[in-house]
Amino acid sequence: MTAFLFVQTAFNYHDVALIVDGKIQKHWHIDEQRQTLKFLSGILPELHDLVFDHIVFVQGPGSFTALRVGATWVNTLAYTRNVLIKNISTLDYLELAAPEEPIITFDEKHYFLRSGSEIIVITEKPKNKFIHYAEDHFISFGYPEDYLPQKLTDYIYPEPVMTTDVLYVIPPKITLPTK
């Protein structure tokens, strides 16, 4: 029997699941990103009698504070239960979670997939490179499609929400085209 605990706090929703022999035995989910600690703390009593060999943690990129809280929780749980932690990047997780066929095709090199409230752009087929965009992000084509647009928002003083101009960051595992 192979059993592991899956923990994902990288997105604006969080998931924890007990996977036994490839099947979900127990699943916890919350849609509120700012409730990470409360969510994870509430799960602890239910984990007391559950048996698992290791913990799989989605390590980012993602929400910085939620990832820190999630990583601390996972490290503490792994230490107290004496189990190993296996990390997976958010991008690899999205690739595994993406549907097989694209919902929208832009051209022969760009495939758009919708996963909940997110859009995944796959730049090669079979899907092995992709860029994750939140729905409210500006998406541009040409050379800029190799960059991941980021917006900085002031969450401490959200009224009015102060947003900077779009910043472009090269995502991991993406190579720039040569001219």
Select from 58, 60, 49, 78 the least CA-distant residue to 15. 58
Question: What distance in Å separates the CA atoms of residue 134 and residue 136, rounded to the nearest whole number?
Answer: 6
Domain boundary among 88, 118, 140: 88
pLDDT confidence of residue 152: 44
Each residue of 125-149: pLDDT tens digit? 433 333 333 333 333 333 334 444 4
User: Across the chain, how many H-helices and E-strands are there?
Assistant: 3, 11
Per-residue model confidence as pLDDT tens digits over 13-66: 899 999 888 788 899 999 877 889 999 999 999 999 999 999 999 888 888 889
Collapse the DSSP code of 164 into the 3-class scheme (helix H, G, I; strand E, B; otherwise coil) and give the result.
Answer: coil
Burial class of 35 by CB neighbour count within 10 A (0 to 12, 13 to 18, 19+): middle
d(CA 86, CA 65): 20
Rg (alpha carbons) of the chain, rounded to whole number? 18
pLDDT score at 68: 92
126 and 65 part of one domain: no
Query: Using one digit for the tens of pLDDT, what is the confidence trace for 61-103?
Result: 888 889 999 999 999 999 999 999 988 888 777 766 655 443 4
Q: Average pLDDT, stretch 157-178?
A: 45
**Does the residue 176 lie in any domain?**
no
pLDDT of residue 61: 84
Residue 24, judged by CB atoms within 10 A of its CB (0-12, 13-18, 19+), counts as exposed
Structural domain harbouring 19? 3-88
Give the pLDDT band (50/70/90) at residue 114.
very low
Tell whether 14 and 34 lie within a shared domain.
Answer: yes
Residue 121: pLDDT band (50, 70, 90) is low
Residue 23, both tokens: 């099947």
Write the CATH number for 29: 3.30.420.40
CA distance linking residue 33 with residue 75, whole number of Å: 20
> Would you state the pLDDT for residue 5?
93
Does residue 11 sit in the same domain as residue 82? Answer: yes
Give the Å distances, CA to CA, from 127 to 57, 122, 152, 176.
22, 6, 29, 18
The residue among 88, 116, 132 that closes a domain is: 88
Q: How many domains does the chain have?
A: 2
